[in-house]
Amino acid sequence: MKDFHGLIFAYYTDARLRELVSMRTAASLPFCGRYRVIDFSLSAMRNAGIVDVGVIMQRDYQSLLDHLGGGKAWDMARRTGGLRMLPPFGLPEYHRGNYAGTMEALIAVSSYIKDVNAKYFVLMLGDMCANIDLTEPMEQHRKSGSPITAICTDRADAEGFRMTYLTDEHGKAKQILVDSVHEDQGVLSLEAYIINKETLLELMETSRKQSLHRFHKDTLDNWLKEGGKMDIYVHHGYTALIRSVDSYYKANMDMLNNDIRHELFPAERPVFTKAREEVSTYYGVGSYSRNSLVADNCIIDGSIENCIVFSGARIAAGAKLKNCIVMNDCIVEAGCSLDHCIIDKDCSFSAGTVLNGNEHLPLIVPKGSNI
């Protein structure tokens, strides 16, 4: 798909994710036992044949670099093109502070965008969990003649998205409502777009001259008001936006539901990730596991229920974990009782430790903690 070039926004991290993003971006958050959140957007592009992709970053991206590497896991390790990491190298002023909006992030890498030899750009968020079949909106975009196609959802359970497109009788966008959700009309924007290159450059130049930083509130709102055409494609599958501790916890716990998990991980559109070739997990005599997802290279001697456990975890005999997310290489000693906890990487718990959160306020244990 040489006509299409991908751009993933991995620069934004919501402060509501708290300790989970003290040393990483939201896009590189571990998910569902073996993945990172950015894997979904990258895999959607790979499954659609897009192997030239730029990832827009700004700060705290070491974890993201470690995960993505040269893009081999997504077949994007190429001599020319392939996966490209895009810090704000184009304009020195963007090294300071945070991007004020998506349009400012695009302008910061404008030299890269101008050099891309493609007719269309596919723009996606790096902190969204959705398995979108991009071949459908790509084909629709080619046939529609509209310079912009917005990828939306009609799912009421797609939490976190705050922009609604109102459509006309032909399914075209006629108005965007920012920070407003109308369940009885329109469709929610997934903040994903297919856009002609010349249109994108035109919008970037206009925004730069007028010092407009926000992609939706400023640029696209003005585009529609001035009579610009925008087509709509509706994605019907599971979608979650990872912008808070609650949304991160809920999205992971959703994966314990077989129907939802199969919806996000369909066999025909695999989700690729960095491989960790390790031994199988060992379950000791007397161990107990119920409704849990457990990665390779774990030792489970204790009890786990409604848990997601990443590679390298060690759960000692007598330890009881419920409703927990346990990231890589954590050690839980005998007699521990952990409930509704998000345990970051490389944590250890001494014997008899008791920690309890709740469904709406899970307890976060920061990376590397010894308790």
**Residues ≥6 apart with Cβ < 8 Å to 322:** 304, 305, 306, 307, 338, 339, 340
Residues 221 and 95 in one domain: yes
Instruction: Report whether 26 contacts 245 (CB < 8 A).
Output: no
Question: By residue range, what is the domain housing residue 347?
Answer: 282-365
- Lookup: tokens for 170: 């032909």
Residues 310 and 197 in one domain: no
Query: What does the pLDDT read at residue 182?
Result: 57
What distance in Å separates the CA atoms of residue 163 and residue 181, rounded to the nearest whole number?
Answer: 6
**pLDDT of residue 240 exceeding 80:** yes
Q: pLDDT tens digits, residue range 280-295?
A: 999 999 999 999 999 9
What distance in Å separates the CA atoms of residue 129 and residue 107, rounded to the nearest whole number?
Answer: 26
- Predicted confidence band of residue 133 (pLDDT cuts 50, 70, 90): very high
Residues 37 and 101 in one domain: yes
What's the whole-number mean pLDDT along residues 303-315? 98
- What CATH number did the domain enclosing 309 receive? 2.160.10.10
What distance in Å separates the CA atoms of residue 227 and residue 141, rounded to the nearest whole number?
Answer: 18
pTM higher than 0.85 for the full model?
Answer: yes
Query: What does the pLDDT read at residue 183?
Result: 58
Residues 236 and 289 in one domain: no
**pLDDT of residue 231 exceeding 90:** yes
**pLDDT of residue 1 exceeding 70:** no
Residue 371 lies in a domain: no
Query: What does the pLDDT read at residue 246?
Result: 95
What distance in Å separates the CA atoms of residue 249 and residue 85, rounded to the nearest whole number?
Answer: 28
Residues 224 and 335 in one domain: no
Last residue of a domain, one of 264, 299, 328: 264
Residues 162 and 113 in one domain: yes
Residues 257 and 307 in one domain: no
What's the whole-number mean pLDDT along residues 149-172? 87
Cβ atoms < 10 Å from Cβ of 85:
16
State the total domains in the chain: 2
* Phi/psi-derived region of residue 63, left when phi > 0, alpha when psi is between -120 and 50, beta in every other case: alpha
DSSP character string of 266-286: -TTSPPP------PPPEE-TT
Query: What does the pLDDT read at residue 78?
Result: 87
Residue 128 lies in a domain: yes
Q: In what order do the strands lie in the sheet with 299-300?
A: 282-283, 299-300, 314-315, 331-332, 348-349
Residue 269 lies in a domain: no
Q: pLDDT tens digits, residue range 323-370?
A: 999 999 999 999 999 999 999 999 999 999 999 999 989 999 999 999
Query: What does the pLDDT read at residue 186?
Result: 82
Tell me 295's DSSP state. Answer: -
Q: pLDDT tens digits, residue range 59-111?
A: 788 999 999 999 999 999 988 889 999 987 545 554 455 787 899 899 989 99
What distance in Å separates the CA atoms of residue 279 and residue 281, rounded to the nearest whole number?
Answer: 7
Instruction: Report whether 352 contacts 370 (CB < 8 A).
Output: no
What distance in Å separates the CA atoms of residue 341 and residue 325, rounded to the nearest whole number?
Answer: 6
C-alpha radius of gyration, the chain, whole number = 21
Query: What does the pLDDT read at residue 79?
Result: 82
- What CATH number did the domain enclosing 45 receive? 3.90.550.10
Residues 257 and 154 in one domain: yes
Q: pLDDT tens digits, residue range 10-62?
A: 998 899 999 999 989 999 999 999 999 999 999 999 999 999 999 999 878 89
Q: pLDDT tens digits, residue range 162-217?
A: 889 999 888 899 999 887 665 567 899 999 999 999 999 999 999 988 888 889 88
Query: What does the pLDDT read at residue 217?
Result: 86
